[in-house]
């Protein structure tokens, strides 16, 4: 509210200065015309019984009165416009000040509520993070146990599936080795004598 007080006082000062200027113009014009009329009438009276001087003075007086009346009306219109503008400016400044003050007052509770909600959410998130941090070692241990159990089961299954193949391979290797052993034994044994005397 204090920020807009200089603006309001400046608008009021501008309107008052405009009114003072119009009044000064009107006063100066009226004084000038009255002096002119006094000089004209004074000159006519000093001339004696010359009627032409009175006629000229009368015409000048009428013309001056007409000018003064028109000038006064114009000055009055300008004064009215200045007064209207001053009132409008004053109203706009006051409305701006009132709206700014109302907006500031209305935004402060909203900002306070937003800050409170943010602080509450932040506290809840921190509490959840701390809870997860405390539970993390136990969860990691359980996960390692499950992984070790799964690995052991897979190894047992692999060994169970591979056992028949390994047994068959071992039997084949044994048979091959047994066959080679029999051939070697036949080669190393001496020939048996024939009944006919030759082999």
Judged against a pLDDT cut of 50, whether residue 45 lies above it is answered with: no
pLDDT tens across 137-162, in order?
Answer: 888 888 888 888 888 888 888 777 76
pLDDT tens across 156-167, in order?
Answer: 887 777 667 677
This prediction has a pTM of 0.28
pLDDT of residue 47: 45
* Packed helices 5-46 and 51-188: angle between N→C axes, nearest 10 degrees: 160
Determine what percent of the chain is predicted with pLDDT higher than 70: 55
Quickly state the pLDDT bin for 44 (edges 50, 70, 90): very low
Contact between residue 34 and residue 106 where contact means Cβ atoms under 8 Å apart: no
Average pLDDT rounded to a whole number, residues 172-199: 63
pLDDT of residue 28: 64
DSSP 50: -
Phi-psi region of 197 (alpha: psi -120 to 50; beta: other; left: phi over 0): left
pLDDT of residue 168: 73
């Amino acid at each position: 509210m204090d920020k807009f007080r200089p603006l309001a006082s400046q608008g009021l000062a501008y309107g008052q200065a405009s009114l003072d200027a119009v009044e000064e113009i009107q006063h100066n014009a009226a004084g000038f015309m009255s002096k002119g009329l006094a000089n004209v009438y004074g000159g006519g009276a000093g001339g004696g019984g010359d009627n032409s001087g009175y006629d000229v003075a009368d015409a000048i007086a009428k013309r001056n009165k007409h000018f003064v009346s028109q000038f006064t009306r114009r000055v009055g219109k300008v004064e009215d416009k200045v007064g209207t503008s001053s009132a409008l400016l004053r109203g706009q400044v006051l409305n701006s000040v009132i709206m700014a003050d109302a907006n500031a007052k209305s935004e402060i509770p909203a900002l306070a509520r937003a800050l409170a909600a943010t602080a509450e959410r932040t506290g809840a998130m921190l509490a959840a993070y701390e809870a997860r941090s405390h539970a993390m070692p136990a969860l990691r241990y359980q996960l390692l146990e499950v992984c070790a159990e799964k690995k052991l089961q897979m190894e047992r299954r692999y060994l169970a599936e591979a056992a028949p193949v390994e047994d068959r391979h071992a039997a084949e290797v044994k048979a091959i080795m047994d066959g080679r052993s029999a051939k070697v034994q036949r080669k190393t044994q001496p020939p048996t004598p024939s009944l006919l005397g030759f082999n």
